[in-house]
A and B are shown apart, each in its own frame.
Chain A
Amino acid sequence: MKIFAIMKKELQSFFFSPIAYIVFASFLSIVGYLFWVILMTSKIATLEPMLYNAAFILMLASPVLTMRLVSEEKKSKTIELLLTSPISPFEIIAGKFLACFVLYLVLMILTLQYPLILAHYSQDFDLGPIYSGYLGLVLLGAAYISLGLFASTLTENQIIAAMVSFGGLVLFWIFGWARHAFENDFGELLGNLSLFDRYAEFLRGIVDSGNVIFFVVFTTVWLFLAMRVLESDRWR
């Protein structure tokens, strides 16, 4: 399978460069620190603040993981190899997305230590919001990666790719503020696009099919656009 060939290659280079390790280390130390401080001060066995923080930090960190995905291929001209091989833009984009997503899932698994700690030390610990929260976090990650991957197809400059995806993610994060600012249909519309508002519902233990579909569609749209940009590169 050519998708998996691409995926394998991407994972290989993720772990060859120090970027993956640095992102992992800084993410885990920040989240760990916040988990500890919040738990010590509140003494409440809930994972909500930790999942909230994790989502926020990942929003800052994910562009660093996604920025090189296509930009680097353009810069080093290896894109010429991929586009002249019997492999479709769909396979390229899907392979790269999956590689980054696998990396993200590994990171998620590493954070499972926190719910385990809570489960170990607390009585009648509510697992519902943990499950829904993690589902939300995984869907959110897919959304982050797809937008970042799209940004990476736009340029051969990794810094620009990172900045575009960072800007995009922050915008989609803060769209929810419009709901309170406008208090009209327009504000409502913008608010519906907010990644944060939808994610917050998962943290409260609500798995709304509308929210799940939103994240799936959001991811698909950006991956589709990434594919089109990759195809259209031939025309420039």
Chain B
Amino acid sequence: MQNITKYYDNFRALNNLNLKVEKGEILGLLGPNGAGKTTAMRILTCFLPATSGTASVAGYDVFEDSLEVRRRLGYLPETPPLYHEMTVRSYLNFIGEIRELPSRMREERIGYVAERIGLTESLGRVIGTLSKGYRQRVGLAQSLLHNPEVLILDEPTVGLDPNQIIEIRGLIKDLARDHTIILSTHILPEVSMTCGRVVIISEGEIVAVDSVANLEKSAQAAPAWKIVLKPAINQSWRETIDNFSGARISEVKEHSDSYEFRLELPRNDDFDELFGSLSQKGAVFREISPVRATLEDVFLRLTSVEERKEAA
């Protein structure tokens, strides 16, 4: 549905971004603060123009057909855009009006959305008196009200309590059936749980685009184990490992009667060999467990800028 090439100058918040989101997909935008997630979303929602490049939503160009794009969008900005002096009901009514929701459908949609988001009892309350979590819900309700084709959510679960977060994630998954959703977050489990595909942005550039599973797989450059070892007679275990070609030790922790460390080997088969020679030296293993990379590792690896520069 979309084919987005964006390039944003000034202090180059986004650099030559290419992104395509399919209909019915949930795409997670992931990145550290200041990576350009919000900028990307603002370009898509026609709030900011791109310096160069084009972006389109549902087949309409965000620049040429901005009005058509905005008709098809639901957007929850970082700060929920609320009028604190209005009641939730009159606010949603106002949203319905400016989002061109026909007046006969307004009541029904407000009721439906409020129920899905858990706002039914708060409809009569003045927004200014609501807690942060409830304000976030009103912001979310606002973005869903007109049943938009494309939903853009900037950190949708910020400020919600754990139960609510689970409910909202469920809601987002439900919505994905007939909506296209782009959400940004820096909460990693959120992405693993809701998104089909993840885009990791760092310093305005895409550093990875893939499904969560694939990313986790690719993060594991080499097989790794967590090992707890009772020190043998001497320090020879360390030498054995150091002399083994391709072995790498990190995160060494010394306990009173044991050593804990992370071992990386070039191949899985290498482990048997190393294990054998370590046992021969009299080392006693307390714990051996394979380490699987999580999205967190991928994220850290891809977004720590210094490392990338070194590698380059």
Contact = CB atoms under 8 A, between A and B. Distances in A.
Interface of A: 2, 5-6, 8-9, 12-13, 16-17, 76-88, 234-235
> Among the interface residues B67, B73, B98, which one has the most CB atoms of the partner chain A within 10 A?
B98
Contact of B98 (A79, A80, A86, A235): A86
A17 to B, nearest CB: 7
Interface string B50-86: 0000000000000000010011010101110111111
B51 to A, nearest CB: 10
Given A9-B86, A88-B67, 5 more contacts: A6-B98, A79-B81, A81-B75, A83-B47, A234-B48
Given A77-B81, A80-B47, A80-B77, A12 B70 contact: no
What 10 A-B pairs have minimum CB-CB distances, sorted nearest first? A81-B81, A5-B97, A16-B85, A78-B81, A84-B45, A77-B79, A86-B70, A86-B71, A85-B98, A80-B77
B46 A83 contact: yes
B142 interface: yes
Main secondary structure of the interface of B (DSSP, over half): loop
Nearest to A16: B85
Contacts of B79: 76-77, 80
A16 B95 CA distance: 19
B247 to A, nearest CB: 53
A34 to B, nearest CB: 33
Interface of B: 42, 45-49, 67, 70-71, 73, 75, 77-79, 81-86, 90, 94-95, 97-100, 142
A2 B93 CA distance: 12
A12 B45 CA distance: 28
Contact of A234 (B49, B90, B142): B49
A85 B70 contact: yes
Contacts of A5: 94, 97-98
A2 B85 contact: no
B86 A12 contact: yes
